[in-house]
A = this chain, B = another copy of it.
Amino acid sequence: MNEQLTKHISKFVAVGDDELVEINRFFKVVNVKKKANLLVAGDTCNQTFFVSKGLLRKFFISDKGVENTTEFALENWWITDVLSFTNRHSSEFYIQAVENAEVLSLSRENYQRLLHQHPAMEKYFRCIFEKAYGAAQMRIKYQYDFSREELYHHFRLRHPEFLQRVPQYLIASYLGFTPEYLSEIRRKSLS
């Protein structure tokens, strides 16, 4: 039984200890080494992942061959390609460990069984997606509102933990610009 996950569930719904034990059975613990992939573009995403330890990222490769990191996920975050997961079509994304990580994997079949057998989990995931949707809305807003330089400073202030744990070129890839330009911004902010 994973403490990280049960704590997280309990933040959103009231579930007894017995039921929490039951719920845990649906998940499988997976250890991922740095740079190893949990999902590869072209495959269908058959799992959704809860990060209990470490740091993952989601990215795709553009026509020009550039990696674009659309998302980071650290402890207590969920990460998956939702569209591929729910619609069973092949994914354009990779999900990869930035650091060695431990995740709890929930397969599509178990996801559906879990929701069916434990109605409290409908509420839990409703809350999770509600939050995730809200966060995505803000992400989208920032894209309109900020210049690339402002995006960096905003990110730096709101997520200092990532600057410690993630190499610069991945930060650049996440913010949607080149490592060269990130380097230039950093130089400017020093002086």
Partner pick for A140 among B81, B125, B136, B144, CB 8 A cutoff: B136
Q: Return the chain B residue nearest A59 by Cβ.
A: B144
State whether the Cβ of A4 lies closer than 8 Å to any Cβ in chain B.
Answer: no
Query: Closest Cβ of chain B: how far from A61's Cβ, in Å?
Result: 10
How many positions in chain A have a CB within 8 Å of any CB in the partner chain?
A: 31
- The answer to whether B70 touches A140, judged by C-beta atoms less than 8 angstroms apart, is yes
State whether the Cβ of A189 lies closer than 8 Å to any Cβ in chain B.
Answer: no
- The answer to whether A82 touches B123, judged by C-beta atoms less than 8 angstroms apart, is no
State whether the Cβ of A40 lies closer than 8 Å to any Cβ in chain B.
Answer: no
Partner pick for A129 among B62, B126, B139, B145, CB 8 A cutoff: B126
Known contacts being A119-B119, A122-B126, is A137 close to B83, with CB within 8 Å? yes
Q: Which residues of B contact A77 (CB under 8 A)?
A: none
Q: Return the chain B residue nearest A129 by Cβ.
A: B129
The contact string, 1 if C-beta is below 8 Å from chain B, for chain A 147-167, is 000000000000000000000
Partner pick for A144 among B68, B119, B144, CB 8 A cutoff: B68
Q: Return the chain B residue nearest A93 by Cβ.
A: B141
State whether the Cβ of A132 lies closer than 8 Å to any Cβ in chain B.
Answer: yes
Known contacts being A122-B123, A129-B133, is A141 close to B82, with CB within 8 Å? no
Given contacts A82-B134, A129-B129, A136-B136, 12 further A-B contacts (CB under 8 A): A60-B145, A68-B145, A70-B137, A70-B140, A122-B123, A123-B126, A125-B126, A126-B129, A129-B132, A129-B133, A133-B136, A143-B176
